[in-house]
Structure 1
Amino acid sequence: MPRFMGFVRMEEGVGTPPKALFDAMDVYIGEQAAKGVFLDGGGLFGTEDAVNFVVRQGEVSRVDGPYAEGKEVVGGWAIMQYDSLEDAVADQRDFAELHAKHWPEVTVISTLRQISDGPDAPTD
């Protein structure tokens, strides 16, 4: 059964989502978990305490948040499994619709990506 990662990106500093969205998400995620679709997930704090390790030209450097150059940040993530890509896409749209209904003043990008089960490129 294919697994997918869903995540939500939004502009940093837009504030806390309204309670109505949290309530709707609790119901939605509970239903998805009961069906065996939702495997794991959660929300993320802002980038003020984030740590990035940047690899550039063979050198590693540490960059601590917040990140002034970042316009969008990942605010939450989920690991899900579906019988088909079509089912995954339909549910991701439903998830996006929750945000449109309960937090319409914020631009949210809801992304779905299939998780690879192995190397996609030949190894040397």
Structure 2
Amino acid sequence: MPRFMGFVRMEENVGTPPQALFDAMDTYIGQQAAKGVFLDGGGLYGTEDAVNFVVRKGEITRVDGPYAEAKEIVGGWAILQYDTVEQAVAEQQEFADLHAKYWPEVTMVATLRQISDGPEQPAP
């Protein structure tokens, strides 16, 4: 059964989501967990305490946040498991729909990527 990682990307410092979105997400995630789709996930704090280790030409550089040059940050993540890629895409659309309905003033990108378990190709 293919597994996926979902990301929510948005501008940093856009404020706290409305309570209605939190409530809708609690219901949605509860339903997804009950179906065995939502395996794990959560929100992330801003980049003020983030640490990046950049490897370039064999050298490692540590870069501490916040990152003024960042246009978007990952604000949340989820590990999901679906029977088919089509089901995963449909559920990601539903997830995005919740944000459009309950927090329409924010611009966000909901990304879905299949998790690799080795050198094989992604599920069709």
Q: Match of 2:69, SS?
A: coil
> What's the C-alpha RMSD, in Å, of the aligned pairs?
1.0
Unaligned runs of 5+ in 1: none
1:117 and 2:79 correspond: no
SS of residue matched to 1:79: strand
TM score, norm. by length of structure 2: 0.95
Q: Tell me how far apart the structure 2 counterparts of residues 8 and 24 of structure 1 sit (CA, whole Å).
A: 16
Paired letter, 2:116 = S
Q: Identity over aligned residues, as a percent? A: 80
2:85 aligned with 1:85, yes or no?
Answer: yes
Which residue is equivalent to 2:72?
72
CA shift for structure 1 position 117? 1.1
In structure 1, what is the Cα distance between the partners aligned to 2:52 and 2:103?
A: 29
In the TM superposition, 1:88-99 aligns within 5 A as 88-99=88-99
Give the drift of 1:120: 4.8
* CA deviations over 1:67-87 (Å, ceiling 9, x no partner): 011000000000000000000
Give the length in aligned residue pairs.
Answer: 121
List, as ranges, runs of 4+ consecutive aligned residues in structure 1 with deviation greater than 6 Å.
none
Shift of 1:116: 0.5
CA distance in 2, matches of 1:46, 1:56: 25
Query: What is the one-letter code of the residue matched to 2:67?
Result: Y
In the alignment, does 2:9 pair up with 1:9? yes
